[in-house]
Amino acid sequence: MKIKTCVSAIALTTGLALGTAQASEWTLEKAAEPYAGTIVDVVFLLRPGYEAAEAMLPDFEARTGIKVNIVKHPYENALGQQVLDFVADGDFDIALIDLVWIGNFAENDWIVPVSKFTSNPDLADPELDMDDFFPLVLNAFGGWNGEVYGLPFDNYSGLMFYNDCMLKDAGFDGPPKTWSELKDVYGPALTKDGKYAFALQSKRNETQSADSFARMLWPFGGSFLDEDFRSNLLSKESQAGLNFRQDLMQYMPDGIVSYDHAETVNAFAQGDVAMITEWSAFYSSLKNPETSKVVDCMKIAPEPMGPAGRKPALGGFSLAVASQADEDEQAAAWLFIQWVTSKANALEYLERGGVPARRSVYAQDGIAEKFDFVPALVESWQDGVPEFRPRFAEWPEITEIVQEWGTKIMLGDVTTEEGARILGERMEAVLEEAGYYSGDKPLAQ
Amino acid sequence: MPATTSRSTIFAFLGPAVISLAVIGIVPLLYAFYTSLYFFNLTKLKNARFIWFENYGSVLTDPVFWEAMGRTFRLLLISLPLQIALGLVIALVLHRPGLGFLRVLTRLSLVLPMATTYAVVGLLGQVMFNQKFGVVNQLIGFLGVEPVNWIGDPFNAFAMIIFLDVWQWTPFVALVLLAGLTTVPGEVEEAARLETKNWWTILRHVQLPFLMPGLVAILILRTADTLKLFDMVFTLTRGGPGSSTELISLMIQRVGFRAFDQGVASAQAIILLIITIILAQLYIKLLYKEV
């Protein structure tokens, strides 16, 4: 793994060094000349960051002559559609990778390391500046086993959105600092007259695994796996987190297990819920008067801390070049990825509703004032855990188990202990089959 | 018409249908069976290998599979009798003479639920049964009933699926049974009505024999449809909350396209197919009689 990292770093540095020498000559138009007319296919989600990129796209197409064909899917279909396409040697030239898919895509050789392009001075933008990406985000969203495959594109951190007016009416000066404070102090005070203190999106899909289950493990010191890759869900810390979630449900709307992002964001936007912990990507819709009644009352803070620290939810997507694309398509795909995630475009992407992972854009004057989620976001990206959800190839199987038993625990069908025991046994069976315990696979997550 | 027909003529008429059936129906089925004998996970194709009937073993001993199967049969055993009972009532009412234009209007409106796509029914259900904004809670609110958590409560979510399935497919049952009632010879029915005023006696001894072929068709079609019911439930509850509405078809889709284990999903699908065929044969053997 270390050798790979070294080679990758050398390739990257060489590429950038070569690029720097040609900085004065390199332009996007010139780099794209050989690929004019090439069509690249990519999956986009139905989310604000993708609408932002789509709105910026005409500029790229006019400058390069490269046509970007966007295939839109809801999140739940995006993995399945891409897997089927890659298995069948299909059309996608760019892979859209949720951070938990990176191990899967990389181990199946469906994506190409960025070093292939950054080492090519004809394709590498001298202004690429990989160090400008938040290291946690670049590593978690685009890196696997010491190699960088994707550049962070649609970037999230869990944030606390709170209704300051409701909090003030209840006598609070600011949001809770800790999860315990949220439950024990804010919960009883804000849950009344058909309104609720908090909503935790917990629908039985990736939302249950990422937004609900994992969110309550890490701040309490728990985790999915211990260092030997055995289940850690029965540890005192993991159990404390899961039991906390059960207790907290009394301050959430009925049927919270059927709440996905849309229902949760909507409940907050309608003023029915005082606080939610949601992805930064929903900022633009909550700030839009057409979709939110609480624009003037909404404030944002980092997620509350648990006994083990903040450990906020971490999620997001990178874009990587697909290995099934031919050489011209790969080059054209890289030029698009490099352009859409570039430092130069970060401000426009942000202003159009996207969330870039470029440090430089958040350091600009006035950005923190204009986009009030920025300070909390930047703080969260310092405290995040890359393996918030394990990123190995087995995650699609394991998340199904987490979704099933996580929901059963919430519904009270099983106790947290019994649910965690069964979940752990099934999780270990998947890892056993994959070869982690026999030493066939490195314990990388 | 000639006494004998040449082989080429027979093939010309039957060939396209047989070939289409083979390509569309049998080849994928054979491929599913072939896949079910392999460890075949789309994200681990490097590990694909022939494992004989291991997938069948793991499916048949998996409690989650049997829970989903039990849920599916619970839906079948509740919704199908309801559909037949309500459909029969509607058919008998429409069969009465003297309804005129009302009968035409009712027949036309009966087609509407059937013509609605399953997925749209699920989406409609999501809107109608929304706890906060749904029209159902608004209606029961007029009666002073507190808003019901339809989608987020395991029991209510299952009841909602039964309701929507009954709503969508009772008209189909009604129309098939109505068609059956029109095959009862008029003079026989008239003679029976002169003999007795008891509607049950007429139904039991005169009309029912003519309804049986349609009823068997309904049982076979609706059983197969219910066992593979997917779209409506997927768009409405996605199998939740928890596993409360995860029918067998949703489980197969989850295993095959979310966990990507095509081998196990194929084995589950083959087992489901065998169960459906056995049920269809049972219906025919026990109930079907030529009038």
**What is the predicted pLDDT for the residue at A168?**
97
Cα A102 to Cα A73, A329, B71, B255, B257: the distances in Å are: 19, 21, 35, 20, 18
Buried b (16+ CB within 10 A) or exposed e, A237-272: bbbbbbbbbeebbebbbebbbbbbbebbbbbbbeeb
Domain residue spans in chain B? 60-287
Are B241 and A255 within 8 A, CB to CB?
Answer: yes
Residue A443, in any domain of the structure:
no
Task: Answer yes or no: do A106 and A252 share one domain.
Answer: no
Q: pLDDT band at A6, cuts 50/70/90?
A: very low
Quote the mean pLDDT of chain A.
92
Task: Answer yes or no: do A138 and A31 share one domain.
Answer: yes
Residue A445, in any domain of the structure:
no
Residue A439, in any domain of the structure:
no
Q: Which range among A394-398, B30-34, B284-288 shows the weakest confidence by mean pLDDT? A: B284-288
Task: Answer yes or no: do A130 and A237 share one domain.
Answer: no
What's the domain range around A27?
2-156+314-383
pLDDT in tens, A365-389: 999 999 989 999 988 888 788 888 9
**What is the predicted pLDDT for the residue at B220?**
93
**What is the predicted pLDDT for the residue at B36?**
97
Residue A440, in any domain of the structure:
no
Residue A14, in any domain of the structure:
yes
Task: Confirm if A319 and A97 have CB atoms less than 8 A apart.
Answer: yes
The shortest C-alpha distance from A190 to chain B (Å) reads 19
Task: Answer yes or no: do A93 and A170 share one domain.
Answer: no
Interval B43-68 mean pLDDT: 94
Q: ipTM, 2 decimals?
A: 0.80
Q: What angle do CA B213, B219, B220 make, to 5 degrees?
A: 90
Q: What percent of chain A has pLDDT over 70?
A: 95
Q: Which range among A188-202, A254-268, B89-103 shows the weakest confidence by mean pLDDT? A: B89-103
Q: Is the pLDDT of residue A12 over 50?
A: no
Q: Is the pLDDT of residue B161 over 90?
A: yes
Q: What percent of chain B has pLDDT over 90?
A: 76
The reply to whether CATH 1.10.3720.10 applies to domain B60-287 is yes
Cis before B241 (ω within 30): yes
State which of A366, A383, A400 marks the end of a domain: A383
Quote the mean pLDDT of chain B.
92
Task: Answer yes or no: do A406 and A307 share one domain.
Answer: yes
Q: pLDDT band at B107, cuts 50/70/90?
A: confident
Maximum distance among all alpha carbons in chain B? 76
Which secondary-structure segment (H or E) carries A296?
A: none
The shortest C-alpha distance from B131 to chain A (Å) reads 9
For B152, which of A254, A272, A396 is closest by C-beta distance? Answer: A254
Tell me the residue type at A128. Answer: L
**What is the predicted pLDDT for the residue at A18?**
47
Task: Answer yes or no: do A143 and A41 share one domain.
Answer: yes
**What is the predicted pLDDT for the residue at B3?**
60
Are A80 and B64 within 8 A, CB to CB?
Answer: no
pLDDT in tens, A230-282: 999 999 999 999 999 999 999 999 889 989 998 999 999 999 999 999 998 88
| A-chain residues near B151 (CB < 8 A) | 255, 258
Q: Which range among A59-68, A104-113, A300-309, A435-444 shows the weakest confidence by mean pLDDT? A: A435-444
CA distance A58 to A74: 23
The shortest C-alpha distance from A411 to chain B (Å) reads 7
Task: Answer yes or no: do A172 and A287 share one domain.
Answer: yes
Handedness of CA B136, B139, B140, B145 (dihedral sign): positive
For residue B88, give every residue at least 6 positions away whose Cβ sits within 8 Å of its Cβ, in sequence order, or none: B173, B174, B177
Task: Confirm if A231 and A424 have CB atoms less than 8 A apart.
Answer: yes
Q: Into how many domains does chain A fold?
A: 2
Q: What is the pTM of this model?
A: 0.84
Residue A125, in any domain of the structure:
yes
Q: What is the CATH number of the domain that holds A350?
A: 3.40.190.10
Residue A29, in any domain of the structure:
yes
Interval B220-234 mean pLDDT: 94
Task: Answer yes or no: do A139 and A172 share one domain.
Answer: no
Are B260 and A83 within 8 A, CB to CB?
Answer: yes
pLDDT in tens, A315-346: 899 999 999 999 999 999 999 999 999 999 99
Q: Which residue in A204, A263, A272, A408 has the most chain B C-beta atoms within 10 A of its own C-beta, making it the best mutation to test that interface?
A: A204
Task: Answer yes or no: do A297 and A417 share one domain.
Answer: yes
Residue in the structure block whose two tokens are 């849309």: A262
Neighbours of B63 (CB within 10 A): 8
**What is the predicted pLDDT for the residue at A285?**
86
Are A259 and B45 within 8 A, CB to CB?
Answer: no
Q: Is the pLDDT of residue B104 over 90?
A: no
How many residues in total does chain B contain? 291
| A-chain residues near B46 (CB < 8 A) | 108
Task: Answer yes or no: do A10 and A81 share one domain.
Answer: yes
Are A400 and B149 within 8 A, CB to CB?
Answer: no
Residue A444, in any domain of the structure:
no
E strand residue ranges, A110-149? 143-144, 147-148
Q: pLDDT band at B222, cuts 50/70/90?
A: very high
Q: Is the pLDDT of residue A362 over 80?
A: yes
pLDDT in tens, B261-279: 999 999 999 999 999 999 9
User: Which residues 205-234 on chain B approach chain A with CB closer than 8 angstroms?
Assistant: none
Task: Confirm if A74 and A47 have CB atoms less than 8 A apart.
Answer: no
Task: Answer yes or no: do A425 and A293 share one domain.
Answer: yes
Tell me the residue type at B53. Answer: F
Q: Is the pLDDT of residue A13 over 70?
A: no
Task: Confirm if B175 and B86 have CB atoms less than 8 A apart.
Answer: no
Task: Answer yes or no: do A280 and A205 share one domain.
Answer: yes
User: Which residues 57-116 on chain B approach chain A with CB closer than 8 angstroms?
Assistant: 64
Are B131 and A80 within 8 A, CB to CB?
Answer: no
B3 phi-psi bin (left φ>0, alpha ψ -120 to 50, beta other): alpha
